[in-house]
Homo-oligomer: A and B are copies of this chain.
Amino acid sequence: MKAVCLLSGGMDSSTLAYLAKHEGYEILALHFTYGQRTEDKERECAHLIARNLNALEFLDVDLAYLKRVGASSLTDPNITVKSHEKAGGGIPQTYVPFRNANLLSVATSFAEAKGADAIYIGVQASDYSGYPDCKPEFIDAFQQVITLGTRPDSGIVLKTPFVRLNKAEILRMGMNMEVPYEDTWSCYSENDVACGVCGSCHFRLEAFRQIGVQDPIPYR
């Protein structure tokens, strides 16, 4: 059995790839860059994780057009990444329009071409208050698109094992699988020493605090 795993190099997607391996799949790692500030660091971490798991392939896909489409602080250098506290409610400023559909479309093409059985994506509960393309209904609708839009015998299943979990639960699962979190990166803002204040750092640190473990990466 083979599974395409969306592997950003962050804490969740790295745990996800370990989980797919534990569930019996050989890994086809799929990494994206789309002009995010920390793309080199993320790619480096994704490679480390893929190597640890003896991934069959590592496909690095540049979705730079998402930068040209604009309208997100993750990719637009003219918008400052806000700290978690200043971000407020509503759809987060880091939202890239319809990003997950773009990622899942690539994943499905890759899966169909390689005869993979499943696609793993790490969308989760702590995201879907804000991002419309992280909601379970969105995932269900995309499964339907996969079923209708691929060869009748492809049988590709979209797996979202983290959708009902919070970050601390994911982390606890990962600690049990001995995921090397020192080889992962979450900060949206910095490449060497994590900022500790962006939304992504905030949620990562909180998860480590909740399970009573020290995060092994350096913080400012």
Binding site for B on A (CB under 8 A): 59, 61-62, 64-66, 68-71, 91, 96-102, 104-106, 108-110, 112-113, 132-133, 135, 137-138, 141-142, 144-146, 148-152
Contact = CB atoms under 8 A, between A and B. Distances in A.
A122 to B, nearest CB: 17
A97 B113 contact: yes
Given A70-B113, A132-B150, A132-B152, A101 B145 contact: yes
Nearest to A131: B149
Contacts of A144: 141, 144
A94 to B, nearest CB: 14
Best-buried of A70, A148, A152 by chain B (most CB within 10 Å)? A148
Contact of A141 (B91, B104, B148, B151): B148
**How many chain copies does the complex carry?**
2
A132 B112 CA distance: 12
A167 to B, nearest CB: 22
B137 A112 contact: no
Contact of A135 (B99, B101, B109, B148): B148
Contacts of A64: 62
7 contacts: A97-B113, A97-B150, A98-B105, A98-B109, A102-B109, A142-B149, A145-B145
A36 B15 CA distance: 37
